[in-house]
């Protein structure tokens, strides 16, 4: 009798036995009240037969629409709908396999803040972006310099390819410095987890899309930085990497199916020949090499034509904005992404956040090629919906030749005039981001052979031209370096470490030239914050003559006149030539020096100098 009772209890227990399911779910959470209310969740379990089970949902207002399996039995994809009736809480997924059940909890949060007001505000020509590498700016918390269990344990400031220890706390400690420069938005190289064995200082080989790198401060540290920025009236720009990932990404290490990556028999790098994407004579193989070739061996190329991959990336992009209060998105290597995917991702972000800004990295060699990848006025079969981009053409074919070439009919500063004349091709060139340098380019101070006067002209132009100015950390204090080796353009900001003997934050140990350029940036950056003409004004430029380039930024209420002399001699300009913009004004205030002049015939401009005047009646 006792044996029968024990056997019965065993059968009863077995009927209610649970399956030991503890899958990871991506996105890791979502929110009620989102326009994006239909999601495709990716579930991953260590059980090779996980996909043989059945999934159900027991939560009011959340419906299971479909379940998908893959070649790899460790994965399931669940299409769900979060209806207006759903309330914040822990959604109960019920997983059943071989009669055994388990409950999987997935969080549905209440939204915090108002998009367009508290976050997802966008950046515009009224902003100034400061771009930095968090590992190289300031070390505010030495306890996270190395994180146990992560593959890269390097920590050596003498090695520019090792980690140096900079973090979010260090940035927060110096937000006042950015504010003094006139900065209104912060952009950092990617902060997502990069658990690669080496070269993790740059951040572009992501290994987990839902974790912020612990060496910077983790998810909580990123939220603290976002909150600190918004508290000071600044904005957060996310560096998004859609095209590729890191070899140690958990999905790459255990693919749901082979077609999640663009696969080749042997390693095949991208051709970097963007012409194949718009060339009417292009071959199919050239198009494939451009888009499907890998960036480098350590960065596998996502197959964005796979709808599961596209969903994974797009949902993650939206998740980051909502989770961390992102205001704008810079898209890495934009032209290497599948073009239709790029449009789909942009559209999804703008549908959820109409005021958010998106600008792409399009590193090409001439203006028509660049224009193809952004909203434009060109009649082509493919039309990009990308709102803005990093304006490398104004750099490569504009300000660089203006300050490095000998003056000639079509050399020197005329190139800057020429490149801006192509603005008719863009739908809105003011959404483009202007720059002098970044982590992949030679420092501008090295480009101009460490000529301080030319560096001053470059910054004066950057802060007065149309578009959104972007400063690269440290160039405002004459940091130099070239890309061979590339680590030389990624050195530490002076004063960001306690042991530093020089500090650009305090001026300690800085040279007179370094502080002069820094002071110029502060002067113009502060002025720009309150100048409607520089923030919102139209641009009118006059063809350069004898190395002198004159342009105006103006509204109905303010006119700013910029006079750039790139000649080796002083020049005198005849003001009557500019009557279209100067008529009705009798005086001008030099914004940089604070001196006033009369507009009564001519202005003398010293050699290799740019003056900025606010005109008055």
Q: Are the beta carbons of 141 and 447 closer than 8 angstroms?
A: no
Q: Count other Cβ atoms within 10 Å, centred on residue 469.
A: 26
| Angle between helix 307-324 and helix 339-352 axes, rounded to 10 deg | 40
DSSP single-letter state for residue 234: -
Helix (H, G, I), strand (E, B) or coil at 199: coil
Give the phi and the psi of residue 552 in degrees, each rounded to 5: -125, 145
Give dist(CA 68, CA 481) in Å, integer.
51
Give dist(CA 363, CA 334) in Å, integer.
9
Q: Count other Cβ atoms within 10 Å, centred on residue 34.
A: 15
Helices (H) and strands (E) in the chain, counts: 18, 26
| Helix (H), strand (E) at residue 330 | strand 328-331
Tally the C-alpha atoms within 13 A of residue 554's C-alpha that lie toward its C-beta: 16
Catalytic residue among 167, 332, 500, 514: 332
- Summarize the chain as % helix, strand, coil (round to 5): 30, 25, 45
Q: Which residue has the tokens 């969903």?
A: 311
| Helix (H), strand (E) at residue 324 | helix 307-324
Helix (H, G, I), strand (E, B) or coil at 262: coil
What is the DSSP secondary-structure string of 500-522?
Answer: -S--TTT-TT--HHHHHHHHHHH
**CA distances, 344 to each of 393, 410, 455 (Å):** 26, 41, 40
Three-class SS of 255-310: CCCHHHECCCCCCCECCCCHHHHCCCCCCHHHHHHHHHCECECCECEECCCCHHHH
Q: Which residues contact 125 (CB under 8 A, 6 or more apart)?
A: 430, 431, 466, 467, 468, 535, 536
* 553, β-bridge pairs: 539, 560
Three-class SS of 237-248: EEEECCCECCCC
Q: What is the largest CA-CA distance in the chain?
A: 117
- Note if 361 is an active site residue: yes
Select from 184, 285, 173, 177 the least CA-distant residue to 221.
Answer: 173
- Note if 604 is an active site residue: no
Give dist(CA 209, CA 3) in Å, integer.
54
DSSP single-letter state for residue 396: I
Select from 412, 407, 413, 434 the least CA-distant residue to 423.
Answer: 434
Q: Are the beta carbons of 374 and 344 closer than 8 angstroms?
A: no
Q: Are the beta carbons of 405 and 396 closer than 8 angstroms?
A: no
Helix (H, G, I), strand (E, B) or coil at 397: helix
Give dist(CA 97, CA 351) in Å, integer.
38
Catalytic residue among 361, 423, 437, 614: 361
Q: Which residues are catalytic?
A: 332, 361
């Amino acid at each position: 009798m006792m044996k029968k009772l024990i056997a019965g209890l065993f059968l009863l227990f077995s009927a209610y036995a649970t399956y030991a399911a503890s899958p990871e779910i991506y996105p890791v959470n979502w929110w009620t009240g989102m326009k994006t209310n239909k999601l495709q969740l990716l579930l991953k379990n260590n059980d090779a037969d996980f996909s043989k089970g059945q999934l159900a949902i027991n939560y009011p207002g959340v419906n299971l629409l479909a379940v998908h399996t893959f070649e790899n039995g460790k994965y399931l994809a669940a299409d769900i709908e979060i209806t207006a009736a759903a309330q914040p809480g822990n959604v109960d997924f019920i997983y059943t396999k071989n009669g055994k059940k388990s409950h999987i909890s997935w969080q549905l949060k209440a939204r915090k803040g108002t998009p367009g007001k508290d976050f997802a505000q966008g950046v515009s020509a009224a902003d100034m972006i400061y771009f930095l590498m968090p590992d190289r700016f300031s070390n505010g918390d030495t306890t996270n310099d190395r994180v146990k269990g992560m593959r890269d344990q390097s920590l050596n400031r003498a090695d520019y390819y090792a980690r140096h220890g900079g973090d979010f706390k260090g940035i927060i400690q110096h937000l006042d410095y950015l504010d003094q420069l006139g900065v209104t938005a912060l952009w950092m190289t990617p902060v997502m987890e990069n658990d690669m064995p080496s070269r993790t200082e740059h951040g572009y080989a992501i290994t987990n899309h839902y974790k912020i790198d612990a060496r910077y401060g983790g998810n909580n540290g990123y939220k603290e930085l976002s909150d600190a920025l918004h508290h000071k009236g600044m904005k957060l720009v996310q560096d998004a990497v859609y095209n590729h990932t890191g070899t140690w990404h958990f999905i790459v290490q255990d693919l749901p199916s082979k077609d999640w990556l663009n696969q080749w028999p042997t390693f095949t790098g991208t051709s970097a020949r963007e012409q194949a994407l718009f060339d009417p004579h292009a071959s199919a193989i050239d198009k494939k090499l451009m888009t499907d070739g890998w960036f480098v061996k350590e960065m596998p190329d996502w197959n964005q034509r796979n709808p599961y991959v596209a969903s994974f990336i797009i949902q993650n992009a939206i998740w980051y904005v909502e989770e961390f209060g992102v205001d704008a998105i810079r898209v890495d290597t934009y032209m290497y992404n599948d073009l239709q995917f790029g449009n789909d991702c942009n559209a999804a972000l703008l549908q959820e956040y109409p005021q958010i800004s998106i600008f792409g990295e399009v590193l090409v060699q001439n203006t028509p090629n660049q224009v193809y990848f952004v909203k434009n006025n060109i009649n082509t079969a493919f039309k990009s919906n990308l709102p803005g981009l990093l304006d490398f053409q104004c750099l490569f074919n504009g300000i660089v030749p203006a300050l490095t070439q000998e003056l000639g009919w079509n050399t020197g500063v005329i190139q800057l005039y020429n490149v801006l004349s192509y603005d008719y091709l863009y739908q809105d060139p003011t959404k483009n981001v202007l720059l002098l340098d970044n982590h992949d380019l030679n420092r501008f101070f090295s480009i101009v052979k460490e000529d301080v006067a030319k560096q001053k002209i470059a910054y004066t132009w950057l802060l007065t031209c149309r578009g959104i100015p972007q400063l690269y950390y440290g160039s405002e204090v004459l940091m130099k370096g070239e890309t061979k080796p590339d680590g030389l353009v990624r050195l530490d900001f002076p004063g960001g470490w306690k042991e530093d003997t020089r500090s650009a934050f305090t001026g300690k140990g800085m040279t007179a030239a370094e502080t002069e350029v820094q002071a110029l940036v502060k002067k113009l950056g502060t002025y720009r914050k309150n100048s409607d003409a520089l923030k919102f004004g139209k641009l009118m430029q006059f063809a350069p003559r004898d190395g002198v380039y004159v342009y105006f930024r103006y509204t109905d209420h303010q006119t700013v006149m910029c006079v750039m002399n790139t000649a080796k001699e002083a020049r005198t300009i005849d003001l009557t030539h500019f009557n279209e913009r100067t008529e009705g004004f009798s005086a001008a205030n030099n914004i940089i020096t604070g001196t006033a002049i009369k507009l009564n015939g001519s202005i003398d401009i010293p050699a290799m100098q740019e003056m900025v005047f606010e005109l008055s009646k």
